Amino acid sequence: MTEPPSPSPSPSPDLPLRVGGGEGYKTRAVRSMDPPAPGTFILRGTDPTDTTAVGGKRRIGEQLAAVKAILRANAQLNHDIYHFWGISVWAAVSADDQTWVLQHKLSAFELVSRLDASSLAEAGVHVLATGDHPHHDAVLLTLAGQPAGDDPTLLEDLVDRVATIAHTVIVNPYHQGGAS
Protein backbone atom coordinates (compact mmCIF):
# COMPACT_ATOMS: atom_id res chain seq x y z
CA MET A 1 0.00 0.00 0.00
CA THR A 2 1.33 3.41 -0.89
CA GLU A 3 1.67 6.13 1.71
CA PRO A 4 -0.03 9.53 1.56
CA PRO A 5 2.11 12.47 0.53
CA SER A 6 4.32 13.94 3.24
CA PRO A 7 3.04 17.11 4.91
CA SER A 8 4.78 20.44 4.57
CA PRO A 9 7.66 20.59 7.06
CA SER A 10 6.98 24.15 8.25
CA PRO A 11 4.18 24.30 10.83
CA SER A 12 2.24 27.43 11.65
CA PRO A 13 0.26 28.32 14.78
CA ASP A 14 -3.03 26.47 15.29
CA LEU A 15 -6.17 28.28 14.26
CA PRO A 16 -8.96 27.82 16.78
CA LEU A 17 -11.96 26.36 14.99
CA ARG A 18 -15.38 25.12 15.98
CA VAL A 19 -15.54 21.59 14.67
CA GLY A 20 -18.33 19.12 14.77
CA GLY A 21 -19.18 15.85 13.27
CA GLY A 22 -22.50 14.58 12.10
CA GLU A 23 -23.46 10.96 12.21
CA GLY A 24 -21.30 9.06 9.74
CA TYR A 25 -18.81 11.92 9.36
CA LYS A 26 -15.34 12.34 10.75
CA THR A 27 -14.65 15.18 13.12
CA ARG A 28 -12.42 17.60 11.28
CA ALA A 29 -9.80 19.79 12.88
CA VAL A 30 -7.36 22.33 11.53
CA ARG A 31 -3.80 21.00 11.25
CA SER A 32 -0.82 23.18 12.11
CA MET A 33 0.64 23.72 8.65
CA ASP A 34 1.50 26.60 6.42
CA PRO A 35 -0.71 26.94 3.33
CA PRO A 36 0.48 24.98 0.30
CA ALA A 37 3.38 26.70 -1.45
CA PRO A 38 3.11 28.14 -4.96
CA GLY A 39 3.61 25.31 -7.43
CA THR A 40 1.61 22.87 -5.28
CA PHE A 41 -1.23 21.33 -7.25
CA ILE A 42 -4.66 21.66 -5.67
CA LEU A 43 -7.04 18.93 -6.83
CA ARG A 44 -10.79 18.46 -6.49
CA GLY A 45 -13.41 16.34 -8.20
CA THR A 46 -15.49 18.17 -10.80
CA ASP A 47 -18.73 17.79 -12.73
CA PRO A 48 -18.88 15.37 -15.69
CA THR A 49 -20.63 18.03 -17.81
CA ASP A 50 -17.33 19.92 -17.75
CA THR A 51 -15.95 17.75 -20.57
CA THR A 52 -15.40 20.70 -22.92
CA ALA A 53 -12.84 22.03 -20.47
CA VAL A 54 -10.69 18.89 -20.43
CA GLY A 55 -7.15 20.07 -21.05
CA GLY A 56 -8.33 23.67 -21.15
CA LYS A 57 -8.79 26.50 -18.70
CA ARG A 58 -12.19 27.98 -19.61
CA ARG A 59 -15.76 27.34 -18.56
CA ILE A 60 -18.82 28.85 -20.15
CA GLY A 61 -22.57 29.03 -19.52
CA GLU A 62 -24.19 25.84 -18.33
CA GLN A 63 -20.91 24.18 -17.41
CA LEU A 64 -20.04 27.05 -15.06
CA ALA A 65 -23.50 26.85 -13.47
CA ALA A 66 -23.14 23.08 -12.96
CA VAL A 67 -19.70 23.48 -11.40
CA LYS A 68 -20.95 26.26 -9.12
CA ALA A 69 -23.85 24.05 -7.99
CA ILE A 70 -21.41 21.28 -7.01
CA LEU A 71 -19.10 23.71 -5.21
CA ARG A 72 -22.06 25.28 -3.39
CA ALA A 73 -23.35 21.86 -2.27
CA ASN A 74 -19.86 20.88 -1.07
CA ALA A 75 -19.46 24.12 0.88
CA GLN A 76 -22.96 23.77 2.36
CA LEU A 77 -22.28 20.20 3.52
CA ASN A 78 -19.01 21.38 5.04
CA HIS A 79 -20.91 24.18 6.83
CA ASP A 80 -23.63 21.81 8.09
CA ILE A 81 -21.02 19.54 9.66
CA TYR A 82 -18.11 21.82 10.57
CA HIS A 83 -19.76 25.27 10.83
CA PHE A 84 -17.73 27.06 8.15
CA TRP A 85 -17.99 27.41 4.37
CA GLY A 86 -15.28 25.23 2.88
CA ILE A 87 -14.68 23.41 -0.39
CA SER A 88 -12.78 20.13 -0.03
CA VAL A 89 -9.52 20.02 -1.95
CA TRP A 90 -6.36 17.91 -1.90
CA ALA A 91 -2.77 19.19 -2.07
CA ALA A 92 -0.16 17.45 -4.22
CA VAL A 93 3.44 18.71 -4.23
CA SER A 94 4.82 16.12 -6.67
CA ALA A 95 3.64 13.83 -9.46
CA ASP A 96 3.72 10.95 -6.95
CA ASP A 97 1.49 12.95 -4.59
CA GLN A 98 -0.95 13.66 -7.41
CA THR A 99 -1.08 9.97 -8.35
CA TRP A 100 -1.76 9.01 -4.72
CA VAL A 101 -4.59 11.55 -4.40
CA LEU A 102 -6.17 10.49 -7.71
CA GLN A 103 -5.99 6.80 -6.71
CA HIS A 104 -7.01 7.03 -3.06
CA LYS A 105 -9.07 10.18 -2.59
CA LEU A 106 -10.58 11.14 -5.94
CA SER A 107 -11.12 7.76 -7.63
CA ALA A 108 -14.90 8.36 -7.59
CA PHE A 109 -14.42 11.27 -10.01
CA GLU A 110 -13.89 10.83 -13.73
CA LEU A 111 -12.80 14.44 -14.03
CA VAL A 112 -10.59 16.39 -11.63
CA SER A 113 -9.87 20.11 -11.54
CA ARG A 114 -6.19 20.91 -11.04
CA LEU A 115 -4.89 24.37 -10.22
CA ASP A 116 -1.88 25.97 -8.63
CA ALA A 117 -2.11 26.96 -4.96
CA SER A 118 -0.94 30.47 -5.86
CA SER A 119 -4.01 31.04 -8.04
CA LEU A 120 -6.26 30.45 -5.03
CA ALA A 121 -4.19 32.84 -2.93
CA GLU A 122 -4.33 35.48 -5.68
CA ALA A 123 -8.14 35.17 -5.64
CA GLY A 124 -8.21 35.71 -1.86
CA VAL A 125 -9.06 32.08 -1.13
CA HIS A 126 -7.12 30.49 1.72
CA VAL A 127 -6.21 26.81 1.69
CA LEU A 128 -6.63 25.56 5.23
CA ALA A 129 -5.10 22.21 6.25
CA THR A 130 -8.01 20.20 7.68
CA GLY A 131 -8.64 16.57 8.49
CA ASP A 132 -6.02 14.02 7.47
CA HIS A 133 -3.11 15.09 5.28
CA PRO A 134 -3.25 15.90 2.34
CA HIS A 135 -6.87 17.14 2.77
CA HIS A 136 -7.51 20.88 2.86
CA ASP A 137 -10.49 23.20 2.63
CA ALA A 138 -10.60 26.22 0.34
CA VAL A 139 -12.07 28.97 2.55
CA LEU A 140 -12.53 32.69 2.94
CA LEU A 141 -11.24 34.04 6.25
CA THR A 142 -13.01 36.62 8.38
CA LEU A 143 -11.21 39.72 9.63
CA ALA A 144 -10.55 37.74 12.81
CA GLY A 145 -8.70 35.11 10.76
CA GLN A 146 -11.37 32.43 11.16
CA PRO A 147 -12.97 30.43 8.33
CA ALA A 148 -16.16 32.25 7.29
CA GLY A 149 -19.37 30.51 8.25
CA ASP A 150 -22.10 32.84 9.47
CA ASP A 151 -22.72 35.03 6.42
CA PRO A 152 -24.45 33.28 3.45
CA THR A 153 -23.14 35.96 1.05
CA LEU A 154 -19.66 34.64 1.78
CA LEU A 155 -20.78 31.22 0.54
CA GLU A 156 -21.57 32.72 -2.87
CA ASP A 157 -18.35 34.74 -2.83
CA LEU A 158 -16.32 31.57 -2.14
CA VAL A 159 -18.14 29.60 -4.85
CA ASP A 160 -17.70 32.39 -7.41
CA ARG A 161 -13.99 32.76 -6.66
CA VAL A 162 -13.19 29.04 -6.81
CA ALA A 163 -15.34 28.40 -9.91
CA THR A 164 -13.67 31.15 -11.92
CA ILE A 165 -10.03 30.52 -11.03
CA ALA A 166 -7.93 29.40 -13.99
CA HIS A 167 -7.46 25.64 -13.80
CA THR A 168 -7.09 22.55 -15.92
CA VAL A 169 -9.59 19.69 -15.96
CA ILE A 170 -7.89 16.30 -16.22
CA VAL A 171 -9.28 12.83 -16.78
CA ASN A 172 -8.66 10.68 -13.71
CA PRO A 173 -7.01 7.47 -14.96
CA TYR A 174 -7.91 5.81 -11.62
CA HIS A 175 -11.64 6.59 -11.85
CA GLN A 176 -13.73 3.76 -10.39
CA GLY A 177 -17.25 5.19 -10.88
CA GLY A 178 -19.78 6.98 -8.70
CA ALA A 179 -18.82 10.55 -7.76
CA SER A 180 -19.03 11.29 -4.05
pLDDT by residue (tens digit) across 105-160? Answer: 999 998 899 999 999 999 999 998 888 889 999 999 887 778 888 788 899 999 99
pTM confidence score: 0.77
Rounded to whole angstroms, the Cα distance separating 163 from 165 reads: 6
Between CA 44 and CA 75 the distance in angstroms is 13
> Phi/psi at 63 (nearest 5 deg)?
-65, -40
Angle between helices 61-82 and 152-164 (to 10 degrees): 130
Would you place residue 12 in the very low, low, confident or very high pLDDT band (cuts 50, 70, 90)?
Answer: very low
pLDDT above 60 for 58 = no
